[in-house]
């Protein structure tokens, strides 16, 4: 039987992968338009599609309709258990993407600070016993820029990384200022995790499409701590969920 497909379906883009051995994933593609995604799914002859979605309901319905009669779709939702104790009084209010990052990191049995830089930038802290201590949510890199340009018709978003530390034009200055905000969020997130855990986390994880904008070498960490970029951590968690569900 062919391997299942794993889909992270976000607000602004999607990521597609195949499940591989021991909870790892084989990344396939990323995009923002839904039609290329649907074309790939329909031609892949996969055993099923596992989905982690925070997309708008109309986009998810479009995906369901396109897959109906062609491939079974299994949608991950936040669940209690899996050796993780969630701090939310109503676990369903925790985004499935955030929950899956916790699930993706749980096999290591380490304390962890997970910083996910996507449409929003989020922090989640989990101790070595699997207790989720909570986190932060703030506007992501693109949203910060859009918040500025919406106030002036003269401003634009720079699509390229400016050269140097200081912008010599308005668009470059906006780009670098918002990137500095990401870096500041990440640094403060580590210190908040340290205070909550009463020590530095064993591992600091940077994930999400804009994690590349965060300088991991500049983040505070303990002498034995690890700062690691895991760009597909939501998909890794989805692969773990598939295994727990007995779908693989």
Question: What's residue 86's pLDDT?
Answer: 97
Last residue of a domain, one of 50, 75, 100: 75
| Average pLDDT of the chain to the nearest whole number | 91
Q: Are residues 54 and 164 in the same domain?
A: no
20 domain-assigned: yes
Q: Are residues 53 and 141 in the same domain?
A: no
Q: Are residues 228 and 127 in the same domain?
A: yes
Report the C-alpha gap between 236 and 231 in whole angstroms. Answer: 10
246 domain-assigned: no
Query: Which pLDDT band holds residue 2 (cuts at 50, 70, 90)?
Result: low
Cα distances (angstroms) measured from residue 169 to each of 51, 103, 106, 177: 41, 43, 44, 12
Cα distances (angstroms) measured from residue 99 to each of 56, 84, 151, 160: 18, 9, 34, 32
Domain with residue 24: its CATH number is 3.30.420.40
Residue with tokens 């990137």: 179
Q: What is the mean pLDDT of residues 44-68?
A: 88
Query: Which pLDDT band holds residue 244 (cuts at 50, 70, 90)?
Result: confident
* Phi, psi for residue 44 in degrees, rounded to 5: -80, -20
The pLDDT of residue 208 is above 90: yes
Question: What's residue 58's pLDDT?
Answer: 87
Report the C-alpha gap between 16 and 9 in whole angstroms. Answer: 9
Last residue of a domain, one of 40, 75, 110: 75
Q: In this prediction, what percent of the chain has a pLDDT beyond 70?
A: 96
Chain segment 128-184, per-residue pLDDT in tens:
999 999 999 999 999 999 988 887 667 777 777 888 889 888 889 999 999 999 999
The pLDDT of residue 52 is above 80: yes
Question: What's residue 166's pLDDT?
Answer: 92
Considering 65, 83, 90, 97, which one is annotated as catalytic?
A: 97
Q: Are residues 119 and 195 in the same domain?
A: yes
The pLDDT of residue 31 is above 80: yes
The pLDDT of residue 1 is above 60: no
Q: Tokens representing 165?
A: 């530390």
116 classed as catalytic: no
Contact 56, 48 (CB under 8 A): no
Question: What's residue 157's pLDDT?
Answer: 76
Q: Are residues 117 and 154 in the same domain?
A: yes
240 domain-assigned: no
What is the domain extent for residue 37?
5-75
Contact 135, 94 (CB under 8 A): no
């Amino acid at each position: 039987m062919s391997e299942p497909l794993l889909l992270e379906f976000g607000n602004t883009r999607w990521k597609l992968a195949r499940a591989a051995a021991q909870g790892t994933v084989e990344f396939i593609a990323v995009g923002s338009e839904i039609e290329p995604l649907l074309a790939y799914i329909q031609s892949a002859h996969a055993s099923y599609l596992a989905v982690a979605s925070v997309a708008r309901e109309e986009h998810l319905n479009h995906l369901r309709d396109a897959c109906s009669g062609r491939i079974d779709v299994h949608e991950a939702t936040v669940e209690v258990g899996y050796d993780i104790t969630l701090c939310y009084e109503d676990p369903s209010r925790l985004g499935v993407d955030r929950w899956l990052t916790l699930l993706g990191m749980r096999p290591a049995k380490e304390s962890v600070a997970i910083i996910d830089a996507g449409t929003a930038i989020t922090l989640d802290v989990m101790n070595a016993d699997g207790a989720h201590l909570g986190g932060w949510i703030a506007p992501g890199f693109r949203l910060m820029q859009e918040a500025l340009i919406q106030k002036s018709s003269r401003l634009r978003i720079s699509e390229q990384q400016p050269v140097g530390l200081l912008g010599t034009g308005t668009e470059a200055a906006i780009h670098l200022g918002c990137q500095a905000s990401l870096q500041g969020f990440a640094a403060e997130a580590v210190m908040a995790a340290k205070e909550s855990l009463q020590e530095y986390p064993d591992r600091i994880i940077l994930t999400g499409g804009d994690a590349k904008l965060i300088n991991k070498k500049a983040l505070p960490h303990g002498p034995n701590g690890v700062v690691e970029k895991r760009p597909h951590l939501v998909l890794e968690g989805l692969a773990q969920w598939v295994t727990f569900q007995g779908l693989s």
